[in-house]
Amino acid sequence: MRYAPGKDARWLLLRPWIYLPRLFQIIWALTGLVVSLLLRGRSKDSEVQRKLARTLLRTLTNLGPCFIKVGQALSTRPDLIRRDWLDELTKLQDDLPSFDHAIALQTVEEELGAPVEQLFEDFPDVPVAAASLGQVYKARLHGQHWVAVKVQRPNLAFILRRDMVLIRTLGVLGAPFLPLNLGFGLGEIIDEFGRSLFEEIDYYCEADNAERFSALFADNPAVTIPKVERLLSARRVLTTSWIHGTKMRDRQELKAQRLNPPALIRTGVISGLQQLLEYGYFHADPHPGNLFALSGQTGDLGHVAYVDFGMMDSISNSDRLTLTGAVV
């Protein structure tokens, strides 16, 4: 469950029947994508750009979790990606194809030690969302209490270990041919990405993160953190209270729910600065799929809920004070 690039590389090199077909698949897919972008990327035709965006989405989705994570990061960067591509890439946040429901039920039973019929009063046949590493069900506990049950995709540790070795190899070999701002330190960037991925697939770690994050905002009525159901959580299954809110993607949808976008933005900015400059512990994956707008308002602050605490990070006191001094 730990990222170890050297050890993982030795493990994979001894298994050419695993890495050779996968390496060919990755190179083939990325080559086709690059050719499409080079040939049609400068087109002014909006329909051409929509097709390119769908090609990018399809390529990343087909290549699996590691590449989907890269696409998720790009989906929040309008400074790097064309605005008309972002709508397609946001589908990588929680609108991916789900895996087989029977496998999800088997994972729950293996991890929690009992069938879902005993653990939940109502457990649906279809997830409400599917992301790169797992899918989420809206289930009901005994007593009418609704919860979100996140179930990890099958065989995930193997897939991540295999693909991270190949991505790192291709990245290090290709770095000298990239522009300086992209190629410099690419190996270290990939290693940081790999470490965060392996932390993210340990749901015990995510449960600890959620409870620590919740304690920081315990006295803040504008920020809501779902409660972890420890008895229904394990390494590959995480159960938390259900958040009844509106995803912070579409301004018109927020207005239709009688929510106040400027107040929500204010809460998002202030809570983000608190995490970075006051607490030194922050949510490292705050894309729109992980932020919900809630009803109500406290003064000029809208009510916001954070979810998905797989990617968290800390900043040292010295760096935090340096940043604070710079802002002041």
CA distance 289 to 132: 12
Q: CB atoms < 10 A from the CB of 83, how many?
A: 8
What is residue 135's predicted lDDT score, i.e. its pLDDT? 94
List pLDDT tens digits, range 20-56: 999 999 999 999 998 988 888 888 888 888 888 889 9
Establish if 133 belongs to a structural domain: yes
What is residue 78's predicted lDDT score, i.e. its pLDDT? 78
List pLDDT tens digits, range 45-87: 888 888 888 899 899 999 999 999 888 877 777 777 787 788 7
- The residue from 285, 300, 308, 313 that is catalytic is 285
- Res. 112: pLDDT tops 60: yes
Specify whether 163 is located in the same domain as 134.
no
**DSSP class per residue in 179-239:** -HHHHTTHHHHHHHHHHHHHHHT-HHHHHHHHHHHHHHTTT-TTEE-PPB-GGG--SSEEE
Specify whether 130 is located in the same domain as 217.
yes
Specify whether 91 is located in the same domain as 228.
no
Range of the domain at 172: 5-97+156-198
Establish if 193 belongs to a structural domain: yes
Distances (CA, A) of 89 to 69, 129, 156, 287, 289: 11, 15, 22, 12, 12
- Point out the domain boundary residue: 143, 174, 198: 198
Which residue from 29, 149, 131, 44 is spatially nearest to 90, judged by alpha carbons?
131
- Point out the domain boundary residue: 198, 230, 264: 198
Distances (CA, A) of 159 to 19, 132, 153, 194: 11, 12, 10, 12
- CB of 264 within 8 A of CB of 302? yes
Specify whether 22 is located in the same domain as 138.
no
- In sign, the C-alpha dihedral spanning 309, 311, 316, 317 is negative
Of the ranges 36-45, 98-107, 236-245, which one carries the lowest mean pLDDT score? Answer: 36-45
Specify whether 46 is located in the same domain as 111.
no
Specify whether 222 is located in the same domain as 264.
yes
Secondary structure letter of residue 122 according to DSSP: B
Establish if 327 belongs to a structural domain: no
Specify whether 230 is located in the same domain as 119.
yes
Establish if 238 belongs to a structural domain: yes
List pLDDT tens digits, range 286-298: 887 789 999 999 9
What is the tally of structural domains in the chain?
2
Establish if 324 belongs to a structural domain: no
The burial class, CB within 10 Å (0-12 / 13-18 / 19+), for 75 is buried
CA distance 78 to 81: 5
Establish if 61 belongs to a structural domain: yes
144: alpha, beta or left? (left if phi > 0; alpha if psi -120 to 50): left
What is residue 183's predicted lDDT score, i.e. its pLDDT? 55
Specify whether 179 is located in the same domain as 304.
no
Specify whether 63 is located in the same domain as 208.
no
Helix (H, G, I), strand (E, B) or coil at 306: strand
Specify whether 11 is located in the same domain as 135.
no
Specify whether 65 is located in the same domain as 136.
no
Helix (H, G, I), strand (E, B) or coil at 248: coil
**Catalytic annotation present for 95:** no
Mean pLDDT confidence for 315-325: 91
- Point out the domain boundary residue: 139, 172, 198: 198
Specify whether 184 is located in the same domain as 295.
no
